[in-house]
Amino acid sequence: MTTYLIRRVAGTIPLLLGISTLIFFVVHLAPGDPTSLYWSEDTDPEVLRLMQHNFGFDRPLPEQYFRWLAGSFRGEFGYSFGHHRPVKDVIRETLPNTLILSAAAMVLIFTIGIAAGIVSAVRQHSFIDHAVTLLSFFFYSMPGFWFGLMMLLIFSYHLHWFPASHMTSLPFRYDQFSFWEKGVDRARHLALPALTLGLGAMAAVSRYTRTSMLEVIRMDYIRTARAKGLSEREVIVRHAFRNALLPVITLFGLYLPFLFGGAVLVETIFAWPGMGRVAVNAIFQRDYPLIMAVTFLSAALVVAGNLIADVAYSWIDPRIRRGEGREP
């Protein structure tokens, strides 16, 4: 197990290095110029050239690349052009917010999704199965931007159940809340974005779980378990569920990047101050140091997500664990 882990982690290093090199050159080869942000009738083009020089954008590309690389080994990602401050400060502020949002969505996806899938499978062809199936297909096929706006319109604008934007209430009010009120306030603000982000994947997970459960339920060992006289609950939870979970775990690794992509949209609609929005703005502004840092981090998270999925897989399925020592 340990060897397996070490080997997997070591394998990610050249991968990340390769990714960063590729991103760097692709980003810089794209036309456009970061100083165009400051373009106006009153800005002398000379001022723009001055800025380019001050930020080092007029240096040869390989030189810029090695500067960047050397910096990132020290944990310095340079200065953001658009934010007028170190990139790491921008990341430190926004990355946790995106993680909170994605984590909340993940929890929704896998708890509700799996639960719905199991119920659907166990009560196959019942009314509840049909209802879950119908809803799943509906949520799965709705585009995120439309769905987000609908959530906003219904639950915030018309029903006033949830706030329409931001992570907390206005700062000077929030500061006066008690600890519990703060928690509730945050949860209320998190509800709509997390749901919007998670519903599509939740629907998919419930479908996967249902299929996988149906397959497992027909296995011989389930029949054996029943024949042994185990209660239906024990059969489902202990024998069927654990085996049915395997394909679903793979989804975890697959959904992480997907959530990051979706977060950009959700963060924009619900004014959630996450990294996705920062990334998009950075791209439009050609804020190279920030683009690099954000893309690199996303890549790292995706790699990490896959790693976690693999580890979880081997934890649940003893056959994979036993395979250690051989090629994974």
Tokens 């934010």 found at: 83
By CB under 8 A, is residue 98 in contact with another protein? no
By CB under 8 A, is residue 172 in contact with another protein? yes
Minimum distance from CB of 265 to another protein (Å)? 10
Minimum distance from CB of 48 to another protein (Å)? 9
Q: Which stretch binds another protein (CB under 8 A): 68-76, 101-109, 172-180, 236-244?
A: 172-180
Minimum distance from CB of 293 to another protein (Å)? 15
Minimum distance from CB of 230 to another protein (Å)? 52
- What is the spatial distance between Cα 118 and Cα 122, in angstroms, rounded to a whole number? 6
- What is the spatial distance between Cα 279 and Cα 66, in angstroms, rounded to a whole number? 22
By CB under 8 A, is residue 165 in contact with another protein? yes
Cα(first)–Cα(last) distance of the chain, in Å?
Answer: 11
Residue 128's closest CA among 115, 111, 110? 115
Residue 207's closest CA among 111, 126, 133? 133
The correct pick among 149, 154, 184, 187 for binding another protein (CB under 8 A) is 149
Angle (deg, nearest 10), helices 179-217 and 87-122: 50
The token pair that represents 71 in the structure block: 């910096």
By CB under 8 A, is residue 92 in contact with another protein? no
Q: Between 257 and 296, how does the x/- string for binding to another protein read (CB under 8 A)?
A: ----------xxxxx-xx--xx--x--xxx----------
By CB under 8 A, is residue 10 in contact with another protein? no
Which is closer to another protein, CB of 266 or CB of 309? 266
Q: Which residues bind another protein (CB under 8 A)?
A: 31-34, 36-47, 50-51, 54, 79, 82-86, 90, 93-94, 149, 152-153, 156-157, 160, 163-168, 170-173, 175-176, 267-271, 273-274, 277-278, 281, 284-286
